[in-house]
Structure 1
Amino acid sequence: MHKVIDLKVLYFGTPVVLIGSRNEDGSSNLMPMSSAWWLNQSCVLGLGDSSQTAANLRREGECVLNLPSSAQVDAVDALALLTANPHIPEYRQRQGYRHERRKFEAAGLTEVPGELVRAPRAAECPVQLECRVASTTALTGNRCTAFEVTVVRAHVEESLLVPGSDHYVDPVGWDPLIMKFCEFFGDGQRLSPSRLAEGWQMPGRLPAPAAV
């Protein structure tokens, strides 16, 4: 039997993306998000208008979509409640967000330059997609914007390619980090506790690890 309910969160499960971009002073930024979908060579990104990344994409017109594997859950979680925007809305402060510009250092990831765009890549991520912004669309009533970006260059770890092919990722070998309702999953299993779920006070979140 189905029940009609007012769902508060619609994050049914998408791959986590670390968006690399450039701040107004030229420094690097790295933002985790899980509202992205792909079609052919295009990707649509859903970003809150108050985020530094949204401002960077509007100004610079480019980014890198770094796709972490499930093994990199700790690096992603370290970024969950950090923002490069010094002006943090009150509701975000209540959720535990704090200002931090050294995102790569905070996540323990290595910054490497893009080849066709100025935005940074995360060396440890097995998939890195250099992109240029094609269009932006404001989402009515959500304080969010949908950014359509075009992939102009893809960097893929060789071990993830279908043997004998330079064009296809092996779906068996590729184990992306998935976020479902603010919790981390990989290979169908729940992973470590999520700071985002804690900040957003999500019910059913994984408990914090016991103190040693």
Structure 2
Amino acid sequence: CVLNFPSSAQAAQVEAIARATGCNPVPTAKQAVGYVHVRDKFALGGFTAVVSTHVAPMAIAECPLQVEATVMAMHPPGEDDGQGFVIVEGRIRCVHAHEDITVDGTQHIDVARWKPLIYLFRQYLGVGEPVGRNFRAEMPMRASASQ
């Protein structure tokens, strides 16, 4: 799988694909709340598909952060209430970050420049100023994010 992390500036593009599902036919529960089948959700949102380096699914070129992962296991939630989701365990294979969100010349994300889109209680939010740093922020990173 590929986890594509859009920036807060991409909220309208993400919302453009919010009612879209690749399922055809659309499951009854999704039909009831307005989902529609869309074959190419990337195009619908104005996104560009790019080939991933370690997994089969495509990544979204415009997303500042993309994480390629191998799905290791999938589990229904402990109390499956029919919401139609599963818990996915994955192993990160590779991380891609646009240069404009990294600390110059390093593999570190510059938290002052990276403004991820956050979906919280049916609202899209950005982030504010950092309020502190974890002790691990000073630890060196491994040589390659794909290891």
TM over 0.5: yes
- Equivalent positions of 1:43-192 (< 5 A) are 63-139=1-77, 140-143=79-82, 144-166=85-107, 168-188=108-128
Q: Which moved more, 1:131-140 or 1:97-106?
A: 131-140
- The 1-side partners of 2:61 and 2:104 are apart by 23
- The 1-side partners of 2:71 and 2:42 are apart by 22
* Number of aligned residues: 125
- The 2-side partners of 1:182 and 1:104 are apart by 21
Identical residues among aligned pairs (%): 36
* 1:56-79 residue CA offsets vs partner (Å, 9 max, x unmatched): xxxxxxx11110001111110011
Structure with higher strand content = 1
TM-score w.r.t. structure 1 length?
0.56
- Secondary structure at 1:134 match in 2: strand
List runs of 5+ in structure 1 lacking aligned partners.
1-62, 189-212
List runs of 5+ in structure 2 lacking aligned partners.
129-147
- Secondary structure at 2:115 match in 1: coil
Residue 129 of structure 1 aligns with an amino acid whose one-letter code is: V
Per-residue deviation at 1:88? Answer: 2.2
Per-residue deviation at 1:164? Answer: 4.1
Per-residue deviation at 1:94? Answer: 2.4
* 1:20-75 residue CA offsets vs partner (Å, 9 max, x unmatched): xxxxxxxxxxxxxxxxxxxxxxxxxxxxxxxxxxxxxxxxxxx1111000111111
TM-score w.r.t. structure 2 length?
0.79
User: RMSD between aligned alpha carbons?
Assistant: 1.4
- Secondary structure at 1:151 match in 2: strand
